Chains A and B, each alone.
Chain A
Amino acid sequence: MRRNELFTAGRLRLIAAAVVVVNGFFPAVWILLTSVKPELELVRKPITYLPHEFTLDNYVQVFRQQPLGLYLANSVIVASASTVVTLLVSACAAYAIARLRLRHRDLILSAIIASSTFPLVTLLVPIFQTMRAVGLLNTYPALILPYVVLSLPVCTLVLVSFFQSIPRDLENAAMIDGATRFGAMWRIVVPLAAPGVFTAGILAFVNSWDEFLLALSLNSAARMRTLPVGIALYQGEFTFPWHIIAAALVVAIVPIAVLIALFQERVVGGLTTGGMKG
């Protein structure tokens, strides 16, 4: 009886939810707490959990003494540009695969997906060489171009399944009414596939926002660093300015956290389409 009172179904559910939530949020919450503690409180023992003294100095410092604003701008430019290009390229490919008379349809889709299994690191060396040869090191295109390929497979997959879900009759009706195939595609299919395009866009954006290896290798000049590279290189040779790193991390995580919080269901849908079919 007592056992039953303590562990009612509702309470067990609450505990289960707490486990998942703590596991997912704890690192982000901890870094948030770290970021509002003064530098001296971070090097005191025993460590404090909630800040004894609340401060926003670290945030001021991170923008004044470190070029965090610049890294933020670089990340936004690279991630946005690569997302737009990825969407254009993958929407075209997905439309052809999902809709048009095409020989070896499955083979083409498989080839695009297979390219995502090639390790990026192995492509790093020749991409670095090529970018150096054509003078693109430490420029935005150096990252934008490879990032398109990074997200092309998953975006194509998501868009193929969205295009396939739009009834063909709508398009045929438009073409009977005199629209060209292009017209039917842009006026009927693309608007109807907007949710899919949006989902694919979020996935592409997150991929680019998070990428580290290429950004570190191709754009390491201080003025061209993206957020992950810029923040990771804050570490001095022997000292880790944790108060600065924590504030910078919060600034860098917030945009992506807001994005996925607003569009949770779309993101989950997109990820599982990509996962289930791949």
Chain B
Amino acid sequence: MSSPAVDLRASRPRLRLVDRIADPSERVLALLLLAPAALFLGLIVVYPIARLVYNSFFDLRMSGGQSAPFVAFENYALALTDKIFWNALWNTLLITIITVIGALLVGLGLALLANLPYRIRWPVRLALLLPWAMPLAFAGLIFAWFFNTDYGVINDWVTRLGFAPLQWLLQPGTAFAAVCIAIIWKSSSFIGLILLAGLQMIPRSLYEAAEVDGATRFQQFREVTLPLLVPSIVVALIFRTITALQTFDIPYTMTKGGPAHATETLAMLIHSTTIDYGDIGYGSTLAVLMFIVSMAVTAVYLRRLQRD
């Protein structure tokens, strides 16, 4: 009589443990499911940022190991007097401003054109998707070929129009312009897609009402389309700005930052400082400065977003 009771008592906790593993409480399960994401973000985002800031206070040119001398703010002082750093920062900001505005305008144009009532939709949709899906590095290579001085298609058009061919990628001003054009082409299609989705959410009835009120096409655009598109525009702006600040692939494949640093961005300077020249301390300092710039820009946007 007594032995089954003992068995039961002995087996019940074990059962419960198995049960608990097979069917944990919701909260435990939630934490378990979030753990891998947390692990990845911790290892590849949080830890690197901490290490980056730590690095920036050391002279890591030679060793990269334990005995690296602590140099406090020397790297930062160096950066603030480094003409190449200021040049790269200026180029980055200029590229950001030009390509954000340019890609927004081109993207808006593409979205408006793509939003017309076509019977067959896929060619237009694919035309917006293809530039988005193409690697930035490939866009850079293709545009380098476009802007080739001797055999590029752009100079062919220039000469057909009766002008002298330009040495596009070989001169600072035109090289900068060519890089910006390539970036705008590559990024405007993603903005076009986002704005197109925004346009498609605007109810037709609003346009019908405006038409009844005698509004012209342009008035409809200004009074109905634009105001209702603002949320999509803000989203597109934030995305574009964050990526523009990190510009690397297109100038790297088009000009390698040249001629004479004319198209060198912060990202390219950080890359060459650390990977090509092995100066991890100074590279980290530049990266911290870039991090501050980009967080500042994001913060400004988010403030705006909250206010609206």
Could you tell me which A residues sit within 8 Å of B by CB distance? 13, 16-17, 19-21, 23-25, 27-28, 30-31, 34, 42-47, 88-90, 92-93, 95-97, 100-102, 108, 111-112, 115, 117-130, 132, 145-146, 148-149, 152, 156, 180-182, 206, 209-213, 216-217, 227-229, 231-232, 240, 242, 245-246, 249, 252-253, 256-257, 259-261, 264-265, 267-268, 271-272, 275-276, 278
* Residue B202, interface by CB 8 Å: no
Q: Evaluate contact between A126 and B137: CB separation under 8 angstroms.
A: no
With A34-B145, A121-B266 known to touch, is A17 a contact of B139 (CB < 8 Å)? no
Interface string of B114-134 (1 = CB under 8 A from A): 101110001111111111111
- A20 and B114: CB pair below 8 A? yes
Which residues of chain A are within 8 angstroms of B238 by Cβ–Cβ distance? 278
Partner of A45, one of B40, B151, B288: B151
How many angstroms between the C-alpha atoms of A92 and B290 in the bound complex? 33
The reply to whether A252 and B138 form a contact with Cβ atoms under 8 Å apart is yes
Given A92-B36, A264-B122, A275 and B197 touching (CB < 8 A)? yes
Q: Can you pick out 17 interface pairs between chain A and chain B where the beta carbons lie within 8 Å of each other?
A: A43-B150, A100-B29, A102-B27, A119-B246, A119-B291, A119-B294, A122-B288, A123-B45, A128-B274, A129-B280, A130-B47, A181-B23, A210-B137, A245-B141, A252-B138, A253-B138, A260-B130
Which of A47, A100, A128 is B30 in contact with, Cβ under 8 Å?
A100
The one of A23, A122, A126, A256 that contacts B133, using a Cβ cutoff of 8 Å: A256
Number of B interface residues at 8 Å Cβ cutoff, please give it: 96
Determine whether the beta carbon of B197 is less than 8 Å from that of A126.
Answer: no
The residues of B that contact A132 with a CB separation of less than 8 Å are 64
Complex contacts, B22 vs chain A, CB 8 Å: 180, 182
With a cutoff of 8 Å between Cβ atoms, the chain A residues found around residue B280 in the complex are 125, 129
Interchain nearest-CB distance for B110 vs A (Å): 6
Q: A28-B142, A130-B51 are in contact. List 16 more A-B contacts (CB 8 A).
A: A30-B145, A47-B156, A92-B37, A93-B37, A95-B33, A101-B26, A118-B49, A127-B48, A149-B44, A152-B41, A213-B267, A228-B135, A249-B142, A257-B130, A260-B133, A275-B232
Taken together as a complex, chains A and B put the C-alpha atoms of A76 and B287 apart, in Å, by 30
Q: Which residue of B has the minimal Cβ distance to A252?
A: B138
Among B113, B140, B266, B280, the one with the most A-chain Cβ atoms within 10 Å of its Cβ is B113
**B143 near A: Cβ within 8 Å?**
yes
B137-A228 in contact (CB<8A): yes
Measured CB to CB, the nearest residue on chain A to B276 is A217
Q: Does B275 contact A (CB under 8 A)?
A: yes
8 Å CB contact of A17 from B26, B124, B140, B185? B124
CB distance from A213 to the nearest CB of B (A): 5
Whether a CB of chain A sits under 8 angstroms from the CB of B226 is no
Decide: B291 and A31 in contact? CB cutoff 8 A. Answer: no
Q: Is B270 touching A125 in the complex (CB atoms < 8 A)? A: yes
- Asked whether, in the complex, the Cβ of A125 is within 8 Å of the Cβ of B298, the reply is no
Whether A100 lies near B26 (C-beta < 8 A) is yes
How far, in angstroms, from A207 to B190 measured CA to CA in the complex?
A: 13
Provided the pairs A101-B30, A253-B138, A275-B239 are in contact, do residues A90 and B271 lie with their beta carbons within 8 angstroms? no
**In whole angstroms, what is the CA distance A112 to B156 when docked?**
48
- Distance A104 CA – B215 CA, assembled complex (angstroms): 48
Contact: B113 with A119, CB < 8 Å?
Answer: no
Q: Are A124 and B197 in contact (CB under 8 A)?
A: no
